Structure 1
Amino acid sequence: MAERRIALIGAGFISDLHAEALKTLPGARVVAIVDPAVERARQVAAKWGIAGSFASIAEMMERVEVDVAHVLVPPNLHRPVAEELIEAGLHVYLEKPMAESEADCEALQKLAKARGVALSVNQNFRRHPAQLRARQILDEGRLGRLRYLHCNYFMPVGQMEGRQFGHWMFNEPKNLLLEQVVHPLSQIDDFIGAIRDFKATPEPMRDFGGVSLQTDWRFTLNGESVNADLAVSLGARYPNWTITALCDDGELRVDYLQNRVIAKRPSRYLEALDHYVTGVDLAWQTARQAHANLANYSLALLKLKRRSDPFFLSMKGSIEAFYGALERSPETLDGALGRRLVGFCDKAIRKARIKTPEGTEVREAGKGPYDALVIGGTGFIGRAVVGQLVAAGRKVAVMARNTRNLPPLFGHENVAIVRASVTDRAALEKAVALAPVVINLAHGGGAADWDGMRKAIVGGAETLGACCLAAGTKRLIHLGTIASLYLGTPGERITGDRAIDSRLDKRNDYSRAKALADEALLAMYRTEKLPVVILRPGVVIGEGTSPFHSGVGFYNSEPHCLGWNDGRNPLPLVLAEEVADAVVRAMDAEAVEGKTYNVVSDVRMSAREYTHELARVLKRPLEYHSQSIAKQGVVESFKWGVKYLTGRRGPYPGVHETRSNGLPATFDTSDIKKDLGWTPIAAREEFVRKAFDVHGEG
């Protein structure tokens, strides 16, 4: 392939995959990355050896020569960004969806044709290894003529589970189709060709605490010569992404999550023996592919072969196909497939007469004054805090980075919104000046490494403390976590004044950073009289939270909880509303500056009891699997050994962290009850109802 000078437009997580895939492609040279968040662009550039990082496309075009641009920005920016690049004479490779509407796609097609450049969309799952194997089997006619296709797309959506509704895909019903459903649609299109007509049947909308989403659909699809149907459930508990192809002489089942293709065809034997022979053959195909997948994963993990997970291979294959076509037949790169899929989503919404639910109209924060500024107030604890403050007649300013699709609570006349990030010091200084009380609920734990975690959590706390001192804040209420303490000694009494773990080097990055953030704020209290009080919640459960909490155990999959120990000791559980009550009480309590309190409920269930109650409510066969400390130590040592052999060397994992994860210590919360007048729920029945029944299926 001729050398191509490539620019990545957007430095989000997907940029890493594009950069990694391009590294394997001869002749591909990434020369620039563009993102308004220049520091993020620089980090990606440093990681992948990209020479130039720029804040804008205009700046990039002045400084470097580029042939092709990969557009990796949010979908609402696809059209304007692609237009700027096409006008500059660059070939454009867009992440899906092509644009937000078929009209936008058509405009891009016309412009690309007029400028004589290629335009294509990364529908990478058409290059999934299982898709390629299935296409080969059908194309070779091994099962006869294809007659019908059925597809299930039942997939969890992390943002749904976490109630992170600020993502673009939740802005209107069509966006969920554009973000998620184009994946199986592109695969069906690959099998049966362009869809001539279809029927769209939506299931009733689901409510997520005041946010209504169209998550479930049934589509009947008519192709040129083969028909299909597609069942969609977004936010499903059990993931199932499969296609079954029915042919004249057998059937093909494609499982994309397990990277498996199983062909079933009749044998030459009589019926009774045929059932046995085909059963053995199906088992052999399953076992053979399972072994191959495990071997490929293991070899790639040990760096004995190149990365070979299906998602990466699909990305690599799609990018290779684009550059191959750009070399041989650029006229075929006209964006037709991307437009077809976006057009389908447009038509589906019109056919089903789906209307965008009315969103919550929020107020921008003025000069105030407000009774409290809640930083990170749109999360599950934040919603509980804001709700209790509003119920008490207080005026609240809520600072959050993403304020779209908020529940009705945030439209209350006593609530105002500050759209800003805590990393923006200037915005933080202005926000802190709005209220005498600042409540910091910002999580800050999304960084990929220790440096990022330290900067976000510890650096963020230090910056907030400095802003509060400058503004003369009367009280800063900072939410820490009991994870900053060592809790691995069975029966040891833990009070609010317990010091952070003395062996932080043996703890995970998040626990370590939260502990150091607490220490930084307390140091500012001692040296500069920062009026801070620190609340450390236990395992927070209840409305708005995921019931599959890591404080109970590790969930490889929802039905199976791998315990941190035998699961018999009481856990320091607490409801989100109980945490909110403690926060509100800390606003007015006297003589609490410089103190730390553990927020743990009086109802303390074991991990086994927790699993039993959750299984009862969900009506699912959930299991708790006890694990010894020794067994976990062996597993962690094995993981460490693999990382060591592959060059990812870190400290040897002892059992210190593992023992603390089990939470066998005992909490004494008499201090918070006395100082704040905090009274958690004492009745087990009421606690269970509020902790678990909210997760039932209505």
Structure 2
Amino acid sequence: MMTNTPIKTAIIGAGYIADWHAEALKVTDGAQLVAVCDLSRSAADAFAEAHGVVAYYDLDEMLAAGVCEAVHILTPPNSHAALAQKCLEAGVHCLVEKPVALSVEDTQEIVQMAEKSGKTFAAGHNFMGLPSYGRLKDAVAKGDLGKITSAEINWHFPLAPLRSGPFGLWLLKEPKNLLLELGPHLYAFAVDLFGPVEIEHLSLGKPIELPADTDRPQSWRVIARAGDVDVTFHISLVETCDDRSMTVRGSTASARLDYANDTLIMQRENASDIVLNPLRKQLDQVGQHLKEGLVNATRQVTSLNRKSAYGLSFQGLFAAFYKSLQDGTPLDARFDGAAALNVMQGIDDTIAKMPKPAAKPKPKSRRKPKPSVLVIGGTGFIGRALTRELVAQGKDVRVLSRGQSGPFDDIADHVELYSAALSDKAALTQAMQGIEAVYHLGKSLDTTWEACLQNDVGVTVGIAEAAMEAEVSRFIYTGTIASYDMSKPDETITEHTGFGDDMTDRNLYARSKAKCEEELLKLHDSKGLPLVIARPGIVVGEGGPLQHWGIGRWHGAGAVRIWGPGTNILPFVLIDDVAKGLVLMMQNEEAVGKSFNLVADPMMSARDYFAAIHTELGAKIKVSFGNLNAFWAADAVKYLLKKHALRRTGAIRPSLADWKSRAHFSPFDNSLPKDVLGWAPESNRAVFVRKAITEANLLGF
């Protein structure tokens, strides 16, 4: 039945991808976002406030309220099937993020429930919503490429969590999850253009061992056939040049779709002689590339970056979904149940060719841990190293974690994973029973100061109050050297250096961490919180990322723009040294009431660091040197556009000093942790390079 009334829509799952959906819904005819539902109250509330919708924390309650006619399901993939069936049964249309389910059988149940309820189910194969893909599909259909002989569909894009975590993500739980997560993008193209795919061969490569787990393949090569078209799928997740593309070859021409950038380039023959033929072919390519570049640049500028390729892909998907709902017409075949089934069948058939996973490492004994230390943020980069260092020194550790498995299965006789919401003081107090020392390494990634006060500062104060109620003997908080003004080369920073009386012109991360320290120090002075503050420098080493944003602004794995000229010494520190320093803060009575900057001896500049990567790994990263005044000026323009053109509340504008601080111009004096704690960070440059670069597996292979 046709309707002109906007379809009231709710989002289920308020994670990272939810913001993309919300922004695309704003420009989708026939759609009105009215609600969000997430089990996490803080996540739901933050999303609701940002987008002006109602927050729910229970799906049954939201469905019973009848506030929506359609939902977008954006939760972890293992929950998709059950949630979709529940929503469809309740009479609500469903758009489900890929993978729509974990098997053909689960997908079939969703399709059947949609048919039974008379509601629409759409698969979130978003890249097929791109304008460039629409043009490719038209070209194939009209025969512009001739008879299609083969296609190569690529996903060459780094997946940093494979090397630096977090390792508790669903996609890292099992080797097959990587294909379930990424495969739908590739297989959906082949299914839509050529029909169901028949899998002939699977080759896996570049394995990487996850902490306390088995290997995960980082490259997948799948040879398949769709009708009489030869299809090859390539997935590469190491630190590689971004190439998310599809090349379709026909008897007349070939076409290359770059779906990460929404461009389509045709390579066509011409009838010129042997001298002019190559020239004409290259000029044709130049003209197409120039046109595609100008179109994309114009689109980005005029839309204020709201029409990036990724954003456009969602807009195309949503336009098809809501047009079907409003017009009462069948859903576009790119996104319907039949397409979802064919895509999942291809993935299932590929998974069937995978070798059986090896058994996970097991602890040496079956003893139950008796934790005396609690680590909040223990599954992160620093937290993992700290937990293992504590165990190595004979401590049993309780790690606050959302899941019941993590990067400590091999030392599970010394590490207990414990689930408690950081905003639940009673649950935190219970988690601290029997605990002598608490490490708070957690952080929130907020986009407004109000959210920082709630999710970072408020949560941190609540954790500290719980620690006092539990009468722990040590509370160690990790702040950041980013809170300092590091813009002055002639000013050496020590622990006595203040952050500044007015932090309102600093970036949110630096400001929020400084506010956390301020509130914790109040509790120390007024109520005796046994506080120690650690401020790690630029932490490097095994488990850390290649694309470290403390050094510069990265553009994929192959290019970086350094903050500033890159000649000043940076406050690097090895991850192992940070872990040892944190343990010393727990052991040393003199540490209470003090803060410590965990920065190694002067070692390397940014230029030195990238030169060492080139020498040690053979990888020459393109390094540009950033003018911080230009960064600041560009950010000022973006601030004005966000505030006045996009009318975004909470927009901030960091000062020029804040931008200069990112270059870490000010040197550090690290004598206090050495004198008080007996901390001895690595001082040998050759050893530092070996641990920070050579043995750190920065590229993943």
Q: TM above 0.5, one fold?
A: yes
Change over 3 Å in CA distance of 1:102–1:43 after alignment to 2: same
How many Å separate the matches in 1 of 2:526 and 2:643? 42
Asked if 1:254 is matched to 2:253, the reply is no
Range moving further from structure 2, 490-499 or 672-681: 490-499
1:254, distance to aligned residue in structure 2 (A):
1.1
Counterpart CA distance in 2 for 1:204 and 1:489 is: 44
Residue identity matched to 1:621: K
Q: Using the alignment, how far apart are the partners of 1:102 and 1:264 within structure 2? A: 37
What does residue 618 of structure 2 align with? 619
Change over 3 Å in CA distance of 1:574–1:119 after alignment to 2? same
Aligned CA RMSD, in angstroms, stands at 2.6
1:363 positional shift: 11
- Alpha-carbon contact 1:363-1:416 (below 8 Å) kept: no
Q: CA deviation at 1:236?
A: 4.0
Cα displacement (A) at 1:676: 0.7
Equivalent pairs counted in the alignment come to 690
3-state SS of 1:494 partner: coil
TM-aligned CA distance change 1:330 to 1:193, over 3 Å:
same
Q: Distance in 1 between the 2:652 and 2:18 partners? A: 29
Q: Which residue of 1 aligns with 2:417?
A: 417
Name the counterpart of 1:538. Answer: 537
Letter in 1 for 2:187: L
Classify 1:293/1:318 alpha carbon distance in 2 versus 1 (closer, same or farther; 3 Å).
Answer: same
SS at match of 1:352: coil
Q: Which residue of 1 aligns with 2:379?
A: 378
Does the CA-based 8 Å contact 2:438-2:472 persist in structure 1?
Answer: yes
1:13-92 equivalences under 5 Å are 13-50=16-53, 52-64=54-66, 66-92=68-94
Measured in 2, the distance between the counterparts of 1:169 and 1:363 equals 29
Aligned to 1:608: 607
Which residue matches 1:100? 102
1:148 — aligned with what?
A: 150
Q: Is the 8 A contact 1:364 1:417 kept in 2?
A: no
SS of 2:589's equivalent?
A: coil
1:204 CA drift (Å) = 5.2
Q: Give a deviation string over 1:46-74, Cα, whole Å, max 9, x none.
A: 54444x54333332333226443332322
Specify the SS of the correspondent of 1:6.
Answer: strand
Return the alpha-carbon distance in structure 1 between the equivalents of residues 634 and 122 of structure 2: 45
Distance 1:25 1:458, change over 3 A: closer
1:397 aligns with 2:394: no
Deviates more, 1:450-459 or 1:249-258: 450-459
Shift in alpha-carbon separation, 1:531–1:296, aligned structure 2, 3 A? same
Question: Contact 1:603–1:687 (CA<8 Å) still a contact in 2?
Answer: no
- Answer with 37-46 or 467-476: which moved more: 37-46
| Structure-1 separation of matches of 2:451 and 2:358 | 37
For the structure 1 residues 330 and 361, does the alpha-carbon distance in structure 2 shift closer, same or farther, using more than 3 Å as the test?
farther
CA contact (8 A) 1:206 1:215 kept: yes
Aligned to 1:349: 351
Change (3 A) 1:428 1:38: closer
Shift of 1:667: 1.7
Q: 2 CA distance for matches of 1:473 and 1:135?
A: 64
Q: What residue number does 1:656 align with?
A: 657
Name the counterpart of 1:286. Answer: 289
Q: Which amino acid aligns with 1:686?
A: V
C-alpha distance 35-642 of structure 1, shift in aligned 2 (>3 A):
closer
Q: Deviation per CA, 1:637-673, whole angstroms, max 9, x where unpaired?
A: 4434444552458565432112222222222222211
Other-structure match for 2:683? 682
- Give secondary structure in 2 for the equivalent of 1:126: helix
**Structure 1 residue aligned with 2:269, among 261, 266, 271?**
266
Choose the corresponding residue for 1:12, options 15, 22, 30: 15
Structure 1, unmatched stretches of 5+, are: none
Residues 313-369 of structure 1, C-alpha deviation per residue, up to 9 Å, x if partnerless? 221221222233443444878612112222222221212334365366799998x85
Whole-angstrom distance in 2 between the partners of 1:502 and 1:46: 29
- Aligned amino acid, residue 434 of structure 1: G
* Offset from partner CA, 1:372-409 (integer Å, 9 cap, x none): 11111121211221222111112222222345342445
**Secondary structure class of the residue paired with 1:85:** helix
- Aligned partners of 1:140, 1:565: CA distance in 2, in Å? 52
Q: Does 1:324 align with 2:323?
A: yes
TM-score by length of 2: 0.92
Task: Look up the match of 1:426.
Answer: 426
How many angstroms apart in 2 are the aligned matches of 1:239 and 1:73? 26
Q: Equivalences for 1:72-471 in 2 at 5 Å? A: 72-203=74-205, 205-211=207-213, 212-301=215-304, 307-326=306-325, 327-330=327-330, 335-355=337-357, 357-358=359-360, 370-411=371-412, 413-442=413-442, 444-471=443-470
Q: Distance in 1 between matches of 2:234 and 2:80?
A: 28
Secondary structure at 1:238's aligned position in 2? coil
Give the match for residue 581 of structure 2. 582
Cα distance change, pair 93–556 in 1 and its aligned pair in 2 (3 A)? closer
Taking the aligned partners of 1:547 and 1:371, their CA distance within structure 2 comes to 34
CA spacing shift, 1:365–1:128, aligned 2, 3 Å:
farther
CA contact (8 A) 1:252 1:261 kept: yes
Cα distance in 2 for residues equivalent to 1:370 and 1:645: 52
Structure 1 counterpart of 2:339, one-letter code: L
Give SS of 1:614's match. Answer: helix
Sort the Cα spacing of 1:116 and 1:567 in 2 relative to 1 into closer, same or farther, 3 A: closer
How far apart are 1:566 and its partner, in Å?
2.0
Q: Which residue of 2 aligns with 1:483?
A: 482
Distance 1:529 1:640, change over 3 A: same
Identify the residue that residue 667 of structure 1 maps to in structure 2.
668
Distance 2:519 2:94 in 1: 48
- 2:635 & 2:35 partners in 1: Cα distance? 39
Distance 1:180-1:663 versus aligned 2 partners, 3 A rule: same
CA deviation map 1:274-305 (0-9, x unaligned): 10011111011101110111111011118xxx
After superposition, the Cα gap between the structure-2 partners of 1:56 and 1:630, relative to the gap in structure 1 and judged at 3 Å, is closer
Can you give the 5+ residue segments of structure 2 that lack an aligned partner in the other structure?
none
Deviations 1:512-535 (A, max 9, x none): 111111111112111111111111
With a CA cutoff of 8 Å and minimum separation of 6, indicate the structure with the bigger relative contact order.
2
After superposition, give the CA deviation of every residue in 1:598-633 in whole Å (9 maximum; x if it has no partner). 111124211111111122233111243333444444
CA distance in 2, matches of 1:576, 1:260: 41
What is the identity percentage for the equivalent residue pairs of Structure 1 and Structure 2?
Answer: 30
Deviation at 1:11, TM superposition (A): 2.9
CA distance in 1, matches of 2:560, 2:11: 40
Q: Is the 8 A contact 2:439 2:476 kept in 1?
A: yes
Describe the SS at the equivalent of 1:598: strand
Instruction: Report the CA distance shift for 1:536/1:100 in structure 2 as closer, same or farther (over 3 A).
Output: same
Deviation for aligned residue 1:263 = 0.8
Distance change >3 Å, CA 342–CA 622, structure 1 → 2? same
Q: Which moved more, 1:646-655 or 1:155-164?
A: 646-655
Could you state the TM-score of these two structures normalised by the residue count of structure 1?
0.92
Give secondary structure in 1 for the equivalent of 2:378.
coil
Which is further off, 345-354 or 223-232?
345-354
Please say if residues 372 and 435 of structure 1, whose CA atoms lie closer than 8 Å, have aligned partners that are also in contact. Answer: yes
SS at match of 1:695: coil
Change (3 A) 1:661 1:312: closer
CA distance in 2, matches of 1:204, 1:620: 17
